[in-house]
């Protein structure tokens, strides 16, 4: 089977021609266009349909696999809702629009779910039965994949791991409108805001600057950085206690924060994880931005072959 795989984010729309059977998928051609999200959902959908129609015209594909930002209905491919980074994206009947534009079968899922499925089956989680994935970037989200299948939940919203409480985050405002969630102290944007709210001298613009400051010997920067990673580890340990994974796979920009970050995440994890999951591995994702493209393709296969 040959598929056109799309990865729709707030900044760009990545695409790839994915072929091969499950377990040996490969990408033969790829590209991307800017999303220009602030043009609004209708214009963005139009642009994506034009791109898909053009590619389907040129390459003989069996169907279209989509990973998209926002809450996606995995039955229809409709975008149920989306955050402010893609205004008007929620309510877009993306699946129907793509089917009309290309006359091909279309299966779509959320991009974080797709990322998790890609890593679980073809990346750092391959060979494991129960995979807990967590992407720690501007925000925090993840997935639980068992036997190669995403646990969607009743509202297709499972995996909002950023919105788990941690006492270090007690009064920190979260992107969801509540307070005390780990996204407010462990994501790239969260840790930045958290540090700035505690610091009376230095201020930083992003997680990278905070890491540099910590490494230059700034005590509060180092403490904040370590506490953030430790808190994330504790939450992952608590999650592991609840869902019993075989392995934990971490990806996203914060995983490139260096050794201190990783060792504090692992220390926090071991402090919170119960004996049956205490020794499992915390791995770094292997597929990078290919993960959602592969994950979407895997989901497509699972639907078309059933």
Which residue number, 47 or 165, has a Cβ lying nearer to Zn ion?
A: 165
Q: 10 Å Cβ neighbour count for 175?
A: 18
Residue that the structure tokens 């079968």 belong to: 105
Shortest Å distance, C-beta 155 to Zn ion: 16
Which residue number, 175 or 255, has a Cβ lying nearer to Zn ion?
A: 175
Shortest Å distance, C-beta 165 to Zn ion: 9
Reported as half-sphere exposure (CB side, CA atoms, 13 A), residue 73 has a value of 14
Q: Which residues pair with 12 in a beta bridge?
A: 34
Contacts with Zn ion by CB under 5 A lie at 163, 174, 176, 178, 181
Which residue number, 56 or 174, has a Cβ lying nearer to Zn ion?
A: 174
Which residue number, 161 or 300, has a Cβ lying nearer to Zn ion?
A: 161
Q: Which residues pair with 27 in a beta bridge?
A: 18
Reading the block at residue 174, the tokens are 């979260």
CB 145 within 8 A of CB 247: no
DSSP strand pairing (79-81 vs 71-72): antiparallel
For residue 278, with 0-12 CB atoms within 10 Å meaning exposed, 13-18 middle and 19 or more buried, which class applies? middle
Residue 263 is inside which H or E element, if any? helix 259-272
Shortest Å distance, C-beta 182 to Zn ion: 8
Shortest Å distance, C-beta 163 to Zn ion: 4
Which residue number, 89 or 161, has a Cβ lying nearer to Zn ion?
A: 161
Shortest Å distance, C-beta 157 to Zn ion: 13
Shortest Å distance, C-beta 228 to Zn ion: 15
Q: 10 Å Cβ neighbour count for 177?
A: 7
Reading the block at residue 15, the tokens are 């695409």
Residue 51 is inside which H or E element, if any? helix 41-58
Which residue number, 118 or 142, has a Cβ lying nearer to Zn ion?
A: 142
């Amino acid at each position: 089977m040959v598929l056109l795989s799309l990865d729709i984010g707030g900044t760009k729309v990545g695409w790839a021609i994915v072929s091969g059977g499950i377990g040996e998928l490969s990408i033969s051609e790829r590209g991307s266009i800017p999303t220009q999200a602030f043009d609004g959902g209708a214009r963005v959908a139009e642009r994506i349909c034009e791109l898909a129609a053009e590619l389907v015209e040129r390459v003989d594909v069996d169907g279209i696999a989509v990973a998209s930002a926002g809450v996606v209905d995995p039955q229809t491919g409709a975008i149920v809702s989306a955050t402010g980074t893609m205004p008007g994206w929620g309510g877009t009947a993306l699946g129907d629009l793509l089917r009309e534009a290309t006359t091909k079968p279309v299966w779509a899922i959320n991009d974080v779910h797709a990322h998790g499925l890609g890593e679980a089956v073809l990346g750092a989680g391959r060979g494991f039965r129960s995979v807990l994935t967590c992407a720690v970037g501007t925000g925090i989200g993840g997935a639980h994949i068992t036997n190669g299948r995403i646990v969607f939940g009743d509202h297709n919203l499972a995996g909002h791991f950023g919105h788990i409480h941690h006492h270090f985050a007690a009064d920190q405002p979260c992107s969801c409108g509540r307070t005390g969630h780990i996204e407010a102290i462990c994501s790239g944007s969260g840790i930045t805001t958290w540090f700035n709210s505690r610091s009376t001298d230095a201020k930083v613009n992003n997680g990278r600057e905070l890491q540099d400051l910590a490494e230059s010997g700034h005590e509060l920067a180092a403490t904040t950085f370590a506490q953030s990673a430790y808190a994330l580890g504790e939450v992952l340990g608590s999650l592991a206690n609840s869902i019993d994974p075989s392995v934990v796979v971490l990806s996203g920009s914060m995983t490139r924060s260096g050794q201190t970050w990783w060792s504090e995440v692992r220390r926090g994890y071991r402090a919170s994880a119960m004996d049956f999951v205490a020794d499992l591995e915390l791995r770094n994702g292997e597929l990078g931005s290919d993960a959602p493209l592969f994950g979407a393709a895997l989901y497509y296969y699972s639907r078309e072959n059933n």
